[in-house]
Amino acid sequence: MPLELAIILPTLNERGNLAPLIQRIENALKPVMDDDGWEVLVVDDDSTDGTAEEARKLARTDRRVRIIQRIGRRGLSSAAIEGFCATAAPFAAVMDADHQHDPALLPEMLATLKADEADICVASRFAEGASTEGWEQPERERLSSLANRAARLITGVKMSDPMSGYFMLRTSRALELTPRLSGIGFKILFDLLATADATLRVRELPLKFAARREGESKLDRAILFDFLAGLYDRTLGRVIPTRFALFGTVGGLGVIVHYTVLTIMFTGMTATFWKAHTIAVLVAMSFNFWLNNWLTYRDKRLKGFGRLLSGWIGFCATCAVGGFANVAVATLLESQGVFWALAALAGILIGSVWNYALSSRFVWGR
């Protein structure tokens, strides 16, 4: 039979979960389609536990399994998009690889779509009849339902779980929306719904949200941040890119750090001005490096002493160049009769753009 369904499994360190999950998918689909009617696409972001190797091993003896290994890229949403783009199957499902999502729902999702009763089927953790033994921490469940309520307001779609990670739709529909998706973070379903402007007919199926089988959640701490970044991205992000906005905010905080250190050293400890100022520059630069690494470049975070040290040196070098551009532009403008505060602002802007461009390329670029 022709290929009908692709099951996209985004993975980050899920090695032990893969083989048993593919077995469960096979069991779930056996009654409704031939063995060659479906394929599994493992989209792995260069896991350190050998997930991609494991997928290759499985794929060598089972042609229904395919592997897309991405290097230097991160993100659940973009991994799902990668999957849509890489399959010839007319229907595509996205699900977690950790067994929290029950493959037994796949046949009903597919039947609903084929009967054209809906454009997208979503497994909901909050629908009537769903159960949630999989919630490891109660605060995570509360956060999720809060994010869901906000998402409902924004998408205008009346559904119980627009943040679910388990859904199915026509691949062509997903591809049609893809050029307008933000692709940032984990909320791919929310993105699809928001981008489609409530034109997708949604059918929700209650999900028995199970506990993760092996390994640990990758989204726990990041979820609120991702959500806020996603909101920003959909609104102001069109004018000022999200990353640059974060970089700028960090820069602003750096100025506060700078003044704090300067004030303490210069007035409190009566250091000479140039000494106090130099130390303040160093502290502020290090602070900015640390915060950018932690926040702005969360997905490309430098880890380990060696990489951190070379990153820090690179960042300081970048700032030196940016600072030079800053002073040069400001001085030039001021000498041309531009009001001093405006000239300074122009210098700061040019310097920041410069710092941003250089550091995203040379410090966090891979």
State the residues that interact with ligand GDD by CB under 6 A: 10-12, 14, 43-45, 74-76, 79, 96-98, 100, 144, 163, 165, 186, 217-220
How far, in Å, CA of 200 to CA of 173, rounded?
Answer: 9
Cβ contact 119:173 at 8 Å: yes
Cα of 20 vs its chain's centroid, Å: 26
The smaller minimum CB distance to ligand GDD, of residues 100 and 326, is found at: 100
The smaller minimum CB distance to ligand GDD, of residues 54 and 98, is found at: 98
How far, in Å, CA of 177 to CA of 193, rounded?
Answer: 9
Question: At closest approach, how far in Å is the CB of 9 from ligand GDD?
Answer: 6
N-terminal to C-terminal alpha carbon distance within the chain = 42
The smaller minimum CB distance to ligand GDD, of residues 174 and 261, is found at: 174
> Which among Mn ion, ligand GDD, none contacts residue 159 (Cβ within 5 to 8 A by kind)?
none
User: By Cβ distance, which residue is nearest to ligand GDD?
Assistant: 165
Question: At closest approach, how far in Å is the CB of 87 from ligand GDD?
Answer: 15
Question: At closest approach, how far in Å is the CB of 100 from Mn ion?
Answer: 4
Cβ contact 329:350 at 8 Å: yes
Residue with the two structure tokens 């995203």: 360
Tell me whether strands 120-124 and 167-170 are parallel, antiparallel or unpaired: antiparallel
Cβ contact 183:81 at 8 Å: yes
> Which among ligand GDD, Mn ion, none contacts residue 75 (Cβ within 5 to 8 A by kind)?
ligand GDD
Question: At closest approach, how far in Å is the CB of 324 from ligand GDD?
Answer: 37
C-alpha distances in Å from residue 111, one per residue of 51, 123, 278: 31, 14, 68
The smaller minimum CB distance to ligand GDD, of residues 163 and 229, is found at: 163
Question: At closest approach, how far in Å is the CB of 43 from ligand GDD?
Answer: 5
The smaller minimum CB distance to ligand GDD, of residues 193 and 319, is found at: 193
Q: Using DSSP, how many helices (H) and how many strands (E) does the chain show?
A: 12, 7
Please give the backbone phi and psi of residue 5, each rounded to the nearest 5 degrees, phi first.
-130, 130
Question: At closest approach, how far in Å is the CB of 217 from Mn ion?
Answer: 5
How far, in Å, CA of 223 to CA of 243, rounded?
Answer: 17
Structure tokens at 113: 């779509």
Is there binding between residue 14 and Mn ion (CB under 5 A)? no
Q: Helices 188-195 and 138-155, interaxial angle, to 10°?
A: 10
For residue 357, give the H/E element and its range: helix 340-362
The smaller minimum CB distance to ligand GDD, of residues 122 and 343, is found at: 122
Question: At closest approach, how far in Å is the CB of 2 from ligand GDD?
Answer: 27
Structure tokens at 84: 């849509």
> Which among Mn ion, ligand GDD, none contacts residue 14 (Cβ within 5 to 8 A by kind)?
ligand GDD
The smaller minimum CB distance to ligand GDD, of residues 72 and 252, is found at: 72
CA angle 236, 183, 88 (to 5 degrees): 150
What's the DSSP call for residue 5? E
Cβ contact 119:200 at 8 Å: yes
> Which among ligand GDD, Mn ion, none contacts residue 194 (Cβ within 5 to 8 A by kind)?
none
The smaller minimum CB distance to ligand GDD, of residues 246 and 358, is found at: 246
Question: At closest approach, how far in Å is the CB of 134 from ligand GDD?
Answer: 8
String marking each residue 77-106 x if it binds Mn ion according to CB under 5 A: -------------------x-x-x------
The smaller minimum CB distance to ligand GDD, of residues 144 and 355, is found at: 144
Cα within 13 Å of Cα(134), Cβ side: 22
Question: At closest approach, how far in Å is the CB of 19 from Mn ion?
Answer: 18
Residues that bind Mn ion (CB under 5 A): 96, 98, 100
